[in-house]
A and B are shown apart, each in its own frame.
Chain A
Amino acid sequence: ELKVEQNPLFLSMQEGKNYTIYCNYSTTSDRLYWYRQDPGKSLESLFVLLSNGAVKQEGRLMASLDTKARLSTLHITAAVHDLSATYFCAVDDSNYQLIWGAGTKLIIKP
């Protein structure tokens, strides 16, 4: 059974700092997704990572995928308050369904 673990589950940080959210998964998969969710809102797609070594960047966010280590990271550079949200990673299982991490609640203090 595919399991997805995110850590940390909660992160409070100051503006201007850098930090990384980690997403580990338990079985072979080469498709990983990162989503952002604001309170009471829907899920916004951030990154689709399709192959080993994939790296994508959008603004202050950068995501990478290491399929051999079964690890993806979401790196935040020089955080700003607007990035406060809950971030989910999700992995495709063999039945083309998404298996979700528990989410990381990120609070960025001015």
Chain B
Amino acid sequence: DTEVTQTPKHLVMGMTNKKSLKCEQHMGHRAMYWYKQKAKKPPELMFVYSYEKLSINESVPSRFSPECPNSSLLNLHLHALQPEDSALYLCASSQDSGTGGRYYGYTFGSGTRLTVV
């Protein structure tokens, strides 16, 4: 299995809702990432988990809360989002967040298209 699976593919939520994005990989990768991508822009790194521990938080607002229950799963919990948070949210994984990731690259999921109304 060489895929990163993200669910749901599309999500529409109100500003008072609580929802979660899910990401799963079975490649034995030990680093997992959340990116946010706005239209016509490159991805922006949000969080990095390395060996199930949060290693990088790129000053993301607290209304985004990541969770890594095990080495295969990564969640992003959403609460009280704003319309400007509407974007494509991409999960990625790599061998690890150090040398392995650099040598073998990063595998991206298909993304969740989030719309906040």
Min CB distance A63 to B, Å, is: 13
User: Of B45, B48, B108, which is within 8 A of A42 by CB?
Assistant: B108
Assess whether B105 is interfacial by the CB under 8 Å rule: yes
Known: A31-B102, A98-B106. A42 touches B42 (CB 8 A): no
CB closest residue in chain A, given B101: A96
Residues of A within 8 A of B111 (CB): 41-42
Per the bound structure, the CA–CA distance linking A100 and B90 in Å amounts to: 14
Per the bound structure, the CA–CA distance linking A56 and B45 in Å amounts to: 27
Residues of B within 8 A of A25 (CB): none
Contact A96 B42 (CB under 8 A): no
User: How many residue pairs at the A-B interface have CB separations less than 8 Å?
Assistant: 51
Interface centre among B43, B90, B105, B111 (most CB of A within 10 A): B105
User: Of B40, B56, B106, which is within 8 A of A45 by CB?
Assistant: B106
Min CB distance B79 to A, Å, is: 25
Query: Scoring A residues 27 to 59 as 1 if CB is less than 8 Å from chain B, else 0, what string do you get?
Result: 000010101000011111100101000000000
Within 8 A of B (CB), among A75-97: 88, 90, 92, 95-97
Residues of A within 8 A of B90 (CB): 42-43
CB closest residue in chain B, given A92: B102
Number of interface residues of B (CB under 8 A): 23
User: Of B42, B56, B97, which is within 8 A of A102 by CB?
Assistant: B42
Min CB distance A87 to B, Å, is: 11
CB closest residue in chain A, given B105: A48
Residues of A within 8 A of B86 (CB): none
Min CB distance B41 to A, Å, is: 8
CB closest residue in chain B, given A30: B102
4 extra A-B contacts, CB within 8 A, seeds A42-B88, A96-B98:
A43-B108, A45-B106, A102-B41, A105-B40
24 contacts between A and B (CB under 8 A): A33-B105, A40-B113, A42-B88, A42-B108, A42-B109, A42-B110, A42-B111, A43-B43, A43-B108, A44-B108, A45-B108, A50-B102, A90-B42, A92-B102, A95-B56, A96-B98, A96-B101, A97-B45, A97-B56, A98-B43, A101-B42, A102-B42, A103-B40, A103-B41
